[in-house]
Amino acid sequence: MAPVIVSLRRMRHGDHFRATSLRMPEGIQSPVIGVDHAWMSGPVFPPHHHAGLSAVSYVFLDSETGINNRDNIGTSNFIAPGGLHWTAAGRGIVHEEVPAEDNKTVHSLQIFVGLPGSKQDMSPEALPLATTAVPVVCTDEYQARILAGGFQGIYSPLSPPTKVTILDISLEKNAVLNLPLPPRHCAFILPIYGATRIGGLTFNHDDLNVPVYLAQDEPTTLVAEATEEKTKIMFFSGPSLSSY
C-alpha cells in the first residue's frame, strides 16, 4: 500500500523550545490531527486554552527530566519519563506544562487527537498513565510500549474518548516488525531516531517526511524494517472520527 507523504516543519519558540511539527492535511481522515516532536528546556508557553480536542503529552524514556502539569479543573501532577498525560479538553480547559527541573531538557511528544462530534462538548477530564503502567511487548529485536490501544493482544489501561493506537517502538538494526492495520483505520509512522524501511521507502527524522496510510476496506499489515542501530518510531492508527 503506497502512503501519502506528509512533510514535517521545523519550529522554534525562543531559546528553550524546538520541535518538528506534523499537521495532518485536510482530507486525510486520521483521528490524530497533529504531533509536535519537541525538546523543551525551560518554561515556554503560559497557561493556554484547548477545546474540542485532546492534547496528549508523552515524555520519552530518554528525557533528562519530566513535566510538571497543572490545569483549571484541579489537576496537578508530574509526568515522568515514560509517562503520558491525556487532556481531553471537551468544552474547554486551560493547562500549563513546564520542565520539572532547571537546566534539563524534556524530550517529548505533544499529540493532538480529535474528538468525535458527540464528545466535543464533554466535560474536560485528565487521564494520566504512569510509566510503570505502560504495557510493553519485548523481544530480542524490538520493544513496543503500548500507550493507547493494543498490540499483539496486549492493551493499554488508558480509556481515552477517541479510539486510537499509539505505540513507542524501539528496533534493533535489521529487525522486522509487522504492524496490523484493521479495516477503515488510518495510520502513520513518525521517525524518532535511526531509519526505517517500509514498502521499499526509507524514512528518518532528518528527512522530515512521514508516511500516512489511508483507510482501506480490508485489513492490511505494514512491515517496518530498521536499517540503522537504535531506531525508534512512533506508530499511530485509528478509525475516522466520522465512523462514530
- pLDDT digit string, tens, across residues 12-24: 998 899 999 999 9
- How many whole angstroms separate alpha carbon 159 and alpha carbon 15? 36
Q: Tell me which residue range forms the domain holding 66.
A: 4-131
223 and 104 co-located in one domain = no
124 and 157 co-located in one domain = no
**Number of CB atoms found within 10 A of residue 56's CB:** 26
pLDDT for the residue 45: 87
Q: Which of 93, 114, 131 is the last residue of a domain?
A: 131
CB distance 221 to 176 below 8 Å:
no
pLDDT for the residue 186: 97
- How many whole angstroms separate alpha carbon 3 and alpha carbon 215? 11
127 and 162 co-located in one domain = no
127 and 144 co-located in one domain = no
- How many whole angstroms separate alpha carbon 59 and alpha carbon 130? 11
Q: Which residue has the cell 490524530?
A: 32
* pLDDT at position 185 over 90: yes
111 and 19 co-located in one domain = yes
88 and 153 co-located in one domain = no
**DSSP track, 223-234:** EEEE-STTEEEE
The residues, any chain, with a CB within 8 Å of residue 84's CB and separated by 6 or more, are 56, 57, 58, 59, 128, 129, 134, 147, 158
62 and 177 co-located in one domain = no
What mean pLDDT comes out for the span 58-84? 97
Stronger pLDDT, 242 or 37, i.e. the higher one? 37
Tell me the three cell numbers of residue 167: 505505540
226 and 148 co-located in one domain = yes
pLDDT in tens, 32-57: 999 999 999 998 888 999 999 999 99
Can you give the CATH number for the domain in which 188 is found?
2.60.120.10
Q: Going by DSSP bridges, is the β-strand pair 9-12/84-88 parallel, antiparallel, or unpaired?
A: unpaired
109 and 18 co-located in one domain = yes
pLDDT in tens, 111-161: 999 999 999 999 999 999 999 999 999 999 999 999 999 999 999 999 999
